[in-house]
């Protein structure tokens, strides 16, 4: 049975950078308030006339395919993870397939918000291990800036989120001990309304017949934080235990970039050094399904991910859903 490994990574963020000082002009907030509560300094927002969720995913995918040393024609399947699709239906996977010119390969969409990319990696891992496919494109892409209440009323949520895309090529290998060692997926739907957008199904609120209050995301921040700092260590330790490792064996933990305070709490609770945890939320905000692939791609680009390293991906978010993947690079 083949193993699966990540053969290529890529990411793309729109060029428009929005600082906390920029947000001060749009709502009653401050740079100090945002940094203290979230750790975020800047985020990237799209020009909606020139960008789309699928388009950003395609840009990230082309970089990942090139970094894998492959051609578009080598890709067998597409997994597209987002909460902000171009359309209510069809999903973004088929749009990426068309934009790539990838032939009539299958495309699957995953709507698991913050944990979407790790769920996507898990699905790709199983397809590879069964021998069904050899090279699978897993994409996380989000446009959230156009679906936020960018006023004082919505500041607790809107200052957190940014736009961007990341992609990974998951490929088959016969090399023993290399690649995705295990994945672990969980959910607890009784908390669905703690972090949700009740009537959101497009990326531009002006097109919606619903009241703005039901369109915009709502979040019980305290409850999300409380559950996140519990579930993150649980699911990370689940992966470590499954494979006979301990936290000090991790070369790099890449958590979903939800809030820098959450990541720091996890780091302290698991007794991890600064060089064992990669955070970039200060530069991009929370890009939901795109946050882990953007961070993983950036860390690899910086030389922080090397052959033989133990890499852990972990996410928690709306649903509630949470997940982890342990990888020997």
Q: Which of 3, 67, 259, 286 is catalytic?
A: 286
Q: Which of 256, 259, 279, 312 is catalytic?
A: 256
What is the reported pTM?
Answer: 0.94
Using the 8-state DSSP alphabet, how is residue 153 labeled? G
pLDDT tier for residue 199 given thresholds of 50, 70 and 90:
low
Q: Which of 20, 114, 135, 312 is catalytic?
A: 114
Inter-residue contact 4 to 125 (CB < 8 Å) = yes
Q: Is 288 left (phi over 0), alpha (psi -120 to 50) or beta?
A: left
Mean pLDDT of 132-141: 98
Give me the residue label for tokens 């996507």.
Answer: 120
pLDDT digits (tens, 9 = 90+) for 42-101: 999 999 888 999 999 999 999 999 999 999 999 999 999 999 999 989 999 999 999 999
81 is catalytic: no
201 is catalytic: no
**Domains (ranges, CATH) in the chain?**
3-173 (3.40.47.10), 179-328 (3.40.47.10)
Cis? peptide before 99, omega within 30° of 0: no
Q: Which residues pair with 311 in a beta bridge?
A: 252, 327
Q: What are the φ and ψ backbone dihedral angles of 183, each rounded to 5 degrees?
A: -130, 155
44 is catalytic: no
Give me the residue label for tokens 């039901």.
Answer: 214
Q: What is the mean pLDDT of the chain?
A: 93
């Amino acid at each position: 049975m083949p193993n699966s490994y990540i053969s290529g990574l890529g990411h793309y963020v729109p060029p428009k950078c929005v600082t906390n000082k920029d947000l001060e002009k749009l709502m009653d907030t401050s740079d100090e308030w945002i940094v203290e509560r979230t750790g975020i300094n800047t985020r990237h927002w799209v020009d909606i006339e020139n960008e789309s969720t699928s388009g950003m995913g395609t840009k990230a995918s082309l970089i990942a395919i090139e970094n894998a040393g492959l051609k578009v024609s080598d890709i067998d399947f597409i997994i597209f993870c987002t909460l902000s699709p171009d359309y209510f239906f069809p999903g973004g996977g088929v749009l990426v397939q068309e934009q790539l010119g990838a032939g009539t390969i299958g495309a699957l969409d995953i709507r698991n918000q913050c944990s979407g990319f790790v769920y996507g990696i898990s699905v790709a891992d199983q397809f590879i291990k069964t021998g069904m496919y050899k090279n699978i494109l897993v994409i996380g892409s989000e446009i959230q800036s156009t679906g936020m209440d960018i006023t004082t009323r919505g500041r607790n949520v809107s200052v957190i989120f940014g736009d961007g895309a990341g992609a990974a090529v998951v490929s088959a290998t016969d090399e023993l001990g290399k690649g995705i060692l295990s994945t672990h997926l969980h959910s607890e739907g009784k908390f669905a309304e703690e972090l949700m957008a009740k009537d959101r199904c497009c990326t531009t609120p002006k097109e919606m017949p619903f009241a703005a209050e039901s369109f915009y995301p709502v979040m019980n921040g305290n409850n999300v934080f409380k559950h996140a700092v519990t579930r993150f260590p649980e699911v990370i330790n689940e992966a470590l235990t499954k494979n006979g490792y301990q936290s000090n064996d991790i070369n790099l933990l890449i958590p979903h970039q939800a809030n820098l305070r959450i990541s720091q709490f996890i780091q302290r609770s698991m007794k991890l050094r600064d060089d064992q945890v990669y955070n970039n939320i200060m530069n991009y905000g929370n890009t939901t399904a795109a946050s882990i692939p953007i961070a993983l791609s950036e860390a690899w680009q910086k030389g922080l991910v090397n052959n033989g390293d133990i890499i852990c991906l972990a996410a928690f978010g709306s649903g509630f859903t949470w997940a982890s993947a342990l990888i020997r690079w």
